[in-house]
């Protein structure tokens, strides 16, 4: 079959809108018609060439929502017509990682997923007879895509695709980092570095958790109003604070943050996020992904005196189990998504979405097919 897709032919080049060939689903796979997809910083990170796992040519995209068109042999949990969100972090419920209940990092298809391939080691996409790779097991920058059954969360049918697609990454990552990874408790003091698509959801999650003080740190003061709407209580302009930002935040929080979150992917900011935490119990969570070869550093004293450095992927969420619940939260008005969708684009305008991101003019651009 044929499908329209935005193809990344090489690092640093704009995406090319092409009609590609797509093979139907094989054993344990599902054909999904993507109705909407968000444009995430992770897509831009891979496209930039900084991603050590970035492979080309590929069809990027990992923040989508759509409808099941066809199921392959052996698929039991989904049927034609089901509404789904693709999961770049699957949940097989059978591997050591899933069964441990200690992590959401299912390893069932990790090896082939990292190679841009389906679990059987092949690709379903091709262009002019040449293979085109999958991306993060999802490839939502294609109107039709094939996804493993274990990498699809079935959701309610009344949820709008152009909003809940954002739950496929940004919303779940931000809110989940607060609830699942940090386990922020009522009354906590929280500092959030970076008030973009992830950071605003961290703010929202901290508000849900009952944090008393939510400090947002950003270089763009234009983000302040929206962050306050989502629950931010204090704003710090990182440019104005400069090298004094850590003592400033420690003073502002009267001893340091109980929890801090780095949502940028900057290793220097990761250090600031740790060092602004409270001695004895402060926890700093790294969400942002840094470039290949970059390393984090701090003085051992910071950790010896009780601060904890943690990382999180997909907010610690178990996709098939937790994503439908987060969709329910949105539909029940417990969380907001609509104000974060700042631009709605056609597939042909997808490169503009990346431009808006880089220019700091969007929180999340969504492509609607």
Digit-coded pLDDT (tens) for 288-328: 988 888 999 999 999 999 999 999 999 999 999 999 999 99
18, 95, 234, 352: the catalytic one is: 95
Does the annotation count 106 as an active-site position? yes
Write phi, then psi, for 27 (nearest 5 degrees): -55, 125
62, 223, 278, 320: the catalytic one is: 62
Say what the pLDDT of residue 176 is.
Answer: 98
37, 98, 207, 276: the catalytic one is: 98
Res 111 pLDDT > 90: yes
Distances (CA, A) of 189 to 25, 105, 287: 48, 28, 18
Over residues 344-350, the mean pLDDT reads: 98
For the record, the structure tokens of 211 come out as: 């944090």
Say what the pLDDT of residue 53 is.
Answer: 86
Distances (CA, A) of 294 to 145, 290, 348: 33, 6, 34
- Contact, 57 vs 133, CB < 8 A? yes
4, 9, 26, 110: the catalytic one is: 110
Over residues 8-29, the mean pLDDT reads: 97
Res 45 pLDDT > 90: yes
CA-closest candidate to residue 365, choices 6, 3, 2, 1? 6
Say what the pLDDT of residue 291 is.
Answer: 82
pLDDT tens digit sequence for 218-267: 999 999 999 999 999 999 999 999 999 999 999 999 999 999 999 999 99
End-to-end CA gap in the chain: 17
Distances (CA, A) of 7 to 14, 198, 338: 9, 25, 28
Does the annotation count 19 as an active-site position? no
Say what the pLDDT of residue 75 is.
Answer: 98
């Amino acid at each position: 079959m044929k499908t329209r897709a935005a193809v990344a032919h090489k690092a640093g080049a704009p995406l090319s809108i092409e009609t590609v060939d797509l093979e139907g689903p094989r054993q344990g796979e599902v054909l999904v018609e993507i109705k909407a997809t968000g444009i995430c910083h992770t897509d831009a990170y891979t496209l930039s060439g900084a991603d050590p796992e970035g492979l080309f040519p590929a069809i990027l995209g990992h923040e989508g929502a759509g409808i099941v068109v066809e199921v392959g042999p052996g698929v039991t949990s989904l049927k034609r017509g089901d509404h789904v969100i693709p999961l770049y972090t699957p949940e097989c419920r059978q591997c050591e990682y899933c069964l441990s209940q200690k992590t959401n990092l299912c390893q069932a298809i990790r090896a082939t997923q990292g190679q841009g391939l389906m679990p059987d080691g092949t690709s379903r996409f091709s262009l002019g007879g040449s293979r085109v790779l999958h991306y993060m097991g999802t490839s939502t920058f294609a109107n039709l895509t094939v996804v493993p059954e274990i990498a699809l969360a079935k959701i309610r049918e009344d949820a709008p695709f152009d909003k809940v697609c954002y739950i496929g990454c940004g919303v779940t990552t931000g809110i989940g980092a607060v609830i699942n990874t940090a386990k922020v408790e009522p009354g906590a003091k929280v500092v959030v570095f970076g008030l973009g698509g992830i950071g605003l959801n961290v703010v929202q999650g901290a508000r849900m958790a009952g944090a008393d003080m939510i400090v947002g740190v950003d270089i763009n003061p234009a983000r302040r109003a929206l962050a306050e709407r989502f629950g931010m209580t204090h704003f710090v302009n990182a440019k104005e604070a400069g090298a004094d930002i850590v003592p400033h935040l420690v003073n502002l929080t009267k001893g340091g943050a109980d929890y801090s979150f780095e949502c940028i992917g900057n290793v220097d900011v990761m250090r600031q996020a740790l060092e602004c935490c409270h001695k004895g119990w402060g926890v700093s969570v790294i969400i942002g992904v840094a470039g290949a070869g970059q390393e984090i550093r701090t003085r051992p004293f910071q950790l010896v005196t009780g601060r904890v450095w943690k990382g999180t992927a997909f907010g610690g969420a178990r996709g098939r189990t937790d994503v439908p619940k987060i969709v329910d939260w949105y539909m029940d008005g417990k969380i907001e998504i609509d104000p974060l969708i700042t631009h709605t684009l056609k597939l042909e305008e997808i490169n503009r979405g990346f431009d808006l991101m880089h220019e700091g003019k969007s929180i999340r651009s969504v492509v609607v097919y």
